[in-house]
């Protein structure tokens, strides 16, 4: 194989992992690495500091570089940097899910016009191979549903809340100490990271562009110990689920939010920082991909895998991996969360007096909601009762209206939480 010359933009956890893995592949030559702090000490044996630059344009404008590996993250200045690289006829390998989710349409159009490709296996689930399998061996299928755990940080926190009975705050602190969560964990715990990944995954799975601004997003910060305990008693565990599905009318339902997941469900068994993706399609049926969704070595595995496939194809053609070219020209018709149908978990604080449960049932009935389970959890010192309701499948807008009606009654003190249910 002829030598492929690459530049790396970003030299944090993933970039360092990519560098280390590439030391085993002499046919790949690293020409330059762009970093924020050129004077930072690198924990790499015999590292050549002359490779470093603090100017990424030194890489994308270098005529000797064939491929740009971008693992810095974010959209600014990443979009301009990669657009420049593409216009300079350089192929791109990236792990930047936020950039692809927000600016993918423009990037892929630019790549098409300049006859280069963008590979992004590492952008969705770290070391789990999912992008290329969908584009290649699964291309004979009509995929109609994705149900996934795409964020290891939130899955770790929810696992520890369930298994060790930790509070959200304690579990988050533990995740930060172990390096699973950032000092500012907002991107993970508020569902942004999973939303970016779901946008990318849904686009290639359903064959239409997904507008990230139309994806309903809800994080895990409202999950309390009482919710975890009630879920367990009812035969569920709570997970942050990335859900995408094609409805019978062709509209697409794409959203990220916590769900009570039945313990018999495969996703309920995914613990700690592990990721898992369930695909349903015809004719293949159901498939499950599970593994390390983040981290230096797993993510580097996907980045370098993309690079080696590209290097192999460039040996024989100037138009590598035709199946990797983006051909999605139209946007999906995405439905609003209010038009979705789900089963629901509703946690209510109500006055402890006769007729309250009947009142809840009446309000649900008036809003076209059938109750599957209703359970009183006990009496508080202020003579209020904790009540948990599980509904049958109902329309989201009906459920929201029912909650508003409940709060109009003096008997209902608070709606403590509303979560959707997956059986």
Catalytically annotated residues:
197
Q: Phi-psi category of 107—alpha, beta or left, where left has phi over 0 and alpha has psi -120 to 50?
A: alpha
Contacts of 194 by beta carbon, 8 Å cutoff, 6+ apart: 150, 151, 154, 240, 242, 256
Residues making up the chain, counted from first to last:
423
Please say whether the dihedral angle defined by the alpha carbons of residues 322, 324, 329 and 330, taken in this order, is positive or negative. positive
Half-sphere exposure of 160 (CA within 13 A, CB side): 19
| Whole-number Å distance between alpha carbons of 308 and 316 | 13
Among 191, 129, 133, CA closest to 157: 191
Quote the tokens at residue 39. 């004077």
What lies within 8 Å, CB to CB, of 214 at 6+ separation is 254, 334, 336
Write out the DSSP string of 206-247: HTSB--GGGSEE--STT--HHHHHHHHHTTEEEEEEEEEEE-
Query: Which H helix or E strand runs over 423?
Result: none
Task: Reduce the DSSP state of residue 99 to 3 states and report it.
Answer: helix
Q: Give the span between the Cα atoms of 162 and 257, in whole angstroms.
A: 17
Contact 281, 141 (CB under 8 A): yes
């Amino acid at each position: 194989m002829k030598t492929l010359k690459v530049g790396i933009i970003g030299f944090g956890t993933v970039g360092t992992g990519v560098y280390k893995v590439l030391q085993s592949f002499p046919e790949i030559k690293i020409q330059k690495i762009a970093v924020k702090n050129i004077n930072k000490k690198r924990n790499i044996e015999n590292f050549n500091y002359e490779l470093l630059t603090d100017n990424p344009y030194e890489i994308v404008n270098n005529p000797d570089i064939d491929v740009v590996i971008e693992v810095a993250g974010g959209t600014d200045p990443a979009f301009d940097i990669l657009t420049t690289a593409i216009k300079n006829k350089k192929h791109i390998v990236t792990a930047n899910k936020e950039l692809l989710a927000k600016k993918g349409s423009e990037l892929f159009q630019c790549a098409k016009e300049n006859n280069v490709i963008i590979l992004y296996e590492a952008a969705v689930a770290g070391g789990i191979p999912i992008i290329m399998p969908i584009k290649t061996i699964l291309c004979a299928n009509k995929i109609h549903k994705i149900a996934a755990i795409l964020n290891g940080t939130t899955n770790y926190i929810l696992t520890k809340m369930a298994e060790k009975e930790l509070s959200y705050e304690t579990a988050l602190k533990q995740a930060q100490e172990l390096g699973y969560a950032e000092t500012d964990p907002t991107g993970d715990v508020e569902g942004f990271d999973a939303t970016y990944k779901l946008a990318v995954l849904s686009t290639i799975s359903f064959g239409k562009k997904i507008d990230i601004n139309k994806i309903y997003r809800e994080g895990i910060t409202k999950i309390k110990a009482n919710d975890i305990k009630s879920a367990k008693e009812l035969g569920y565990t709570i997970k942050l689920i990335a859900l995408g599905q094609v409805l019978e009318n062709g509209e697409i339902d794409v959203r990220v939010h916590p769900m009570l997941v039945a313990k018999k469900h495969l996703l309920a068994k995914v613990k700690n920082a592990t990721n898992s993706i369930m695909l349903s399609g015809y004719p293949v049926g159901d498939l499950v991909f599970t593994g390390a969704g983040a981290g230096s070595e797993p993510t580097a595995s996907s980045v370098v895998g993309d690079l080696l496939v590209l290097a192999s194809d460039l040996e024989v053609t100037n138009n590598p991996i035709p199946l990797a070219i983006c051909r999605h020209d139209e946007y999906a018709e995405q439905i609003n969360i209010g038009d979705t149908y789900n089963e629901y978990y509703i946690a209510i604080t109500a006055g402890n007096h006769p007729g309250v449960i009947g009142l809840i049932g009446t309000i649900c009935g008036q809003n076209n909601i059938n109750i599957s389970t209703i359970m009183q959890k006990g009496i508080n010192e202020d003579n209020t009762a904790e009540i948990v309701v599980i509904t049958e499948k109902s329309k989201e807008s009906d459920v929201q209206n029912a909650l508003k009606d409940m709060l109009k009654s003096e008997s209902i003190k608070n709606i403590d939480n509303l979560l959707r249910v997956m059986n």
